[in-house]
Amino acid sequence: MTLFTFGVLRRCVGAVKHCSLSTTALRSRVQFEPPYLDASGPEIPEYPQLNVQVKGYDFTVVEHYAKWVHNTALNMGIDVEDSWATPCEKYRIQTFKPKSTNVEADYHLQEYDRTVQLADLPSVVAPLFLEVIQAGLPTGVEISVHPHQPEHSQIRYIPDLELKTLQLQLHELGGPSKK
Amino acid sequence: MSLLNNILSSVYRVCVPGVLGQRNIGTATTPLYFKLTQVVGGEPLKKKKRLDPQIIRQREERKKRKIEKQIRRLEKNAGQLKPVDELEVPRAIIKEIDIRKKPVVTISGEEMDKRAALNKAWSAYKYQQHRAEVTMIDQAATARERALEELREESEELWLEAVQIDPTLIPFKAKGPVLTPPIPEYKSPDGEYINVTRIWE
């Protein structure tokens, strides 16, 4: 419905990089349609906001794979809403000597985390997309595709103590006032 | 008898009953003169006024609205994102930036031509790779679209069923392949995974 569809952007930027055969289809489609035609919703049901989370211990591999997933989604005509990096999980892995708790080796490893958020993924496109993603999965990387929850985006932010105390006070007074 | 006298002597100020039936007994040994008591600073206790419940409610609502306003103000300032260590330049390196600057090197024409040719070859290779991928995906997609069209022509009900969301598909998890096959009868060592990520508040 908006004029600035991905197809138009792609044409503006340069056709070579994201040369996909879906751009020709977009070009032939009418660019503006009255809103009431789409009022009853899409014909093919769509998944809610999905997060494709890529996790792994090797930073370069994780980063490159996440970029590839992003590009593949764009080439397949899927709406990529957002993609971000979550701070890594740091692990201290200790191996013990056999039959004792004496530490033999101590490793410091970091598990890196990248997410690509997809919006309005049609149900017929999803299986093909997942198959393509799996086919390109490198060693030592694991992916998890799940619907987006508010906690997933809240983890990225530093919690605000002031805000928390104010909300606690409000809760004690008996919830927000209805206007 | 002496006991009674003792008691009577200490309780000598016994009033004579004036009116029949009334008795006034006091235990004061000295007569009550005029006395000055200590200055007591406090007022006598005030009677608690019964507030109108409406006023109470109004006061509470005002407090709530004030808190809500503050909450809205804090929420407007977009929260701070946690820093991602791998995307930030370490401070030690930023301090050394002057030492780390490389001198500008002039490249000969031949070297530049070689590099340009290398760039072209690499981009051509990557382009071929990309085209192969996109063609593969597109072939699968067109086959799918054709199949769906044919199914729709065949029966609308079946098409509707085929197009529904698969609830078992999402959530989906997959692990990448491993480099080496599993070692037969491998005894993994005992150990511990301790999460030492920084906890924010």
For B87-126, write each residue's pLDDT tens digit: 999 999 999 999 999 999 999 999 999 999 999 999 999 9
Interchain CB distance below 8 Å, B166 and A126: yes
Among partner residues B162, B178, B189, which is closest to A139 by beta-carbon distance? B178
Residues B94 and B110 in one domain: no
Work out the average pLDDT over A61-78: 96
Q: What is the pLDDT of residue B76?
A: 80
Flag whether residue B181 sits within 8 Å of chain A, measured between CB atoms: no
From A45's Cα to the closest Cα of chain B, the distance in A is 6
Give CA–CA dist B173/A54, Å, rounded: 10
From B52's Cα to the closest Cα of chain A, the distance in A is 19
In a domain, B153, yes or no: yes
Q: What is the pLDDT of residue B27?
A: 79
**How does DSSP assign B128-140, residue by residue?**
HHHHHHHHHHHHH
Work out the average pLDDT over A18-24: 58
Joined together, the tokens standing for residue A32 give: 């503006």
Domain span holding position B146: 105-162
Residues B130 and B156 in one domain: yes
- Half-sphere exposure of residue A176: CA atoms within 13 angstroms, side-chain side: 8
Between B162 and A31, name the one with better pLDDT.
B162
Residue of A nearest to B197 (CA): A90
How confident is residue B2, by pLDDT bands cut at 50, 70 and 90? low
Q: In this structure, what DSSP letter does residue B30 have?
A: S
- Min mean pLDDT across A7-21, A24-38, B140-154 is at A7-21
Residues B4 and B19 in one domain: yes
What is the maximum span of chain A, computed from C-alpha positions, in angstroms?
73
Say how many C-beta atoms besides its own lie within 10 A of residue A9's C-beta.
Answer: 11
Q: What is the pLDDT of residue A29?
A: 72
Flag whether residue B167 sits within 8 Å of chain A, measured between CB atoms: no
Give CA–CA dist A113/A70, Å, rounded: 14
Q: What is the pLDDT of residue A169?
A: 83
In a domain, B118, yes or no: yes
From A32's Cα to the closest Cα of chain B, the distance in A is 24
Q: What is the pLDDT of residue B7?
A: 64
- Min mean pLDDT across A93-102, B68-77, B145-154 is at B68-77
For residues B114-139, b (16+ Cβ closer than 10 Å) or e, as one string?
eeeeeeeeeeeeeeeebeebbeebee
Q: What is the pLDDT of residue A77?
A: 94
Contacts of residue A124 in chain B, CB cutoff 8 Å?
144, 148, 162-163
Strand partners, A92: A108, B194
Q: What is the pLDDT of residue A43?
A: 86
Joined together, the tokens standing for residue B48 give: 């608690």
Most B CBs within 10 Å: which of A157, A162, A172, A178, as the mutation test of the B interface? A157
How confident is residue B141, by pLDDT bands cut at 50, 70 and 90? very high
Q: Is the pLDDT of residue B15 over 60?
A: no
How confident is residue A21, by pLDDT bands cut at 50, 70 and 90? low
Among partner residues B134, B174, B190, which is closest to A143 by beta-carbon distance? B174
In a domain, B41, yes or no: no
Residues B60 and B93 in one domain: yes
Torsion of CA B35, B38, B42, B45, to 10 degrees: -40
> Would the CA dihedral through A160, A166, A169, A173 be positive or negative?
negative
Restricting to B residues 116-155, those with a Cβ less than 8 Å away from any Cβ of A are 127, 130-131, 133-134, 137-138, 140-141, 144, 148
In a domain, B174, yes or no: no
Mean pLDDT of chain A: 85
From A37's Cα to the closest Cα of chain B, the distance in A is 20
Asked whether B28 and B13 are in contact (CB, 8 A), the reply is yes
> Would the CA dihedral through B96, B98, B99, B100 be positive or negative?
positive
Contacts of residue A168 in chain B, CB cutoff 8 Å?
none
Q: Is the pLDDT of residue A97 over 50?
A: yes
Q: Where are the alpha helices (DSSP H) in chain A?
A: 6-13, 22-28, 59-75, 126-135, 150-154, 161-173
Work out the average pLDDT over B147-173: 93
Q: Is the pLDDT of residue B145 over 50?
A: yes
Interchain CB distance below 8 Å, B170 and A104: no
In a domain, B170, yes or no: no
Among partner residues B71, B170, B195, which is closest to A146 by beta-carbon distance? B170
Contacts of residue A149 in chain B, CB cutoff 8 Å?
none
Residues B109 and B154 in one domain: yes
In a domain, B40, yes or no: no
Q: What is the pLDDT of residue A9?
A: 46
In a domain, B194, yes or no: no
Q: What is the pLDDT of residue B94?
A: 92
> Looking at domain A46-157, does it have CATH number 3.40.30.10?
no
Flag whether residue B68 sits within 8 Å of chain A, measured between CB atoms: yes
Most A CBs within 10 Å: which of B58, B61, B122, B165, as the mutation test of the A interface? B165
Looking at the structure of chain B, the number of domains it has is: 3
Among partner residues B80, B130, B197, which is closest to A90 by beta-carbon distance? B197
- B43-67 per-position pLDDT tens digit: 777 777 776 788 888 888 888 888 8
In a domain, B201, yes or no: no
How confident is residue B10, by pLDDT bands cut at 50, 70 and 90? low
